[in-house]
Amino acid sequence: MLRNGLEPWHLLIVAIVVIVLFGSKKLPDTARALGRSMRILKSEAKALKDDDTTATATEPPATPQAAGPTT
């Protein structure tokens, strides 16, 4: 039933609904805000990835703990 996902006419209906809901005057501002948010999200994700790679590169390898005697 949903093998093909979104077809072109689905996207057309979504675009019409968005235009009706937000109005054509607010769409550029909404798109600009969405673009800014995506840019911030990308930079934060990249910063987290860079932090993870530098943290793992600077940490010494873990040494196994010797097991204590069991009685």
Most confident of 3-7, 17-21, 51-55: 17-21
Structure-block tokens of residue 40: 């911030």
**Six token digits for residue 41:** 């999200």
In this predicted structure, the answer to whether residue 2 has a pLDDT above a threshold of 60 is no
Distance CA 55, CA 53 (A): 5
pLDDT (tens digit, 9 = 90+) per residue, 49-66?
888 777 776 666 566 666
Boundaries of every domain in the chain: 24-56
Chain segment 32-41, per-residue pLDDT in tens: 999 999 999 9
What is the pLDDT averaged over residues 42-47?
94
Neighbours of 56 (CB within 10 A): 8
